[in-house]
Amino acid sequence: MTEEKKNKSKWGIGIALLYGGFVVFMLTIVIFSTMQDFSLVEDNYYQKSLSYQTKIDNMKNTEKLSVKPFVKINSNEKSLTVTFPDSVAKNGISGTLLFFRPSDKRADQMVPIDLNSSNQMILSTTRFLKGYWVMKLSWESEGTSYYQEENLTI
């Protein structure tokens, strides 16, 4: 009879440990989830989505170019070169390069376009975190707006 009481008490302890472990597990999940950063990819994404047709038109303008701007990454010199075609750059270009980091909004960087005499813009890649980037190139030349995106791995 004493052996039967011992078995019953082991079941009770096991069930209590199971429920206690479940409560600790759930509390851990709740605490962990409240500490996560759920920032949006872009601020004012709704307003930007309403003006998306303008972006599409700018992308079509870029597609019409016979020679498009191209990007070259030189890992030895730790530089990134954006070369614009002479046909677009001859009368000057104004615009920006947005380096967008999908995994970390705080690492995004915007750089104004500043071309040298060879219609190139050379940037040092030492200021960028290693990994995946999206370069959003937005520029205007002779009253026409252009837009191009390039996926980069630095």
Cβ neighbours around 140 below 10 Å, total = 16
pLDDT higher than threshold 80 for residue 127: yes
Per residue in 60-99, pLDDT (tens digit) is: 999 998 889 989 998 888 899 999 988 887 778 899 999 9
98/111 Cα distance (integer angstroms): 6
Per residue in 25-70, pLDDT (tens digit) is: 999 999 998 887 766 566 677 777 777 888 999 999 999 988 899 8
Q: Computed over its alpha carbons, how large is the radius of gyration of the chain? A: 28
50/56 Cα distance (integer angstroms): 12
Per residue in 104-118, pLDDT (tens digit) is: 888 889 999 988 888
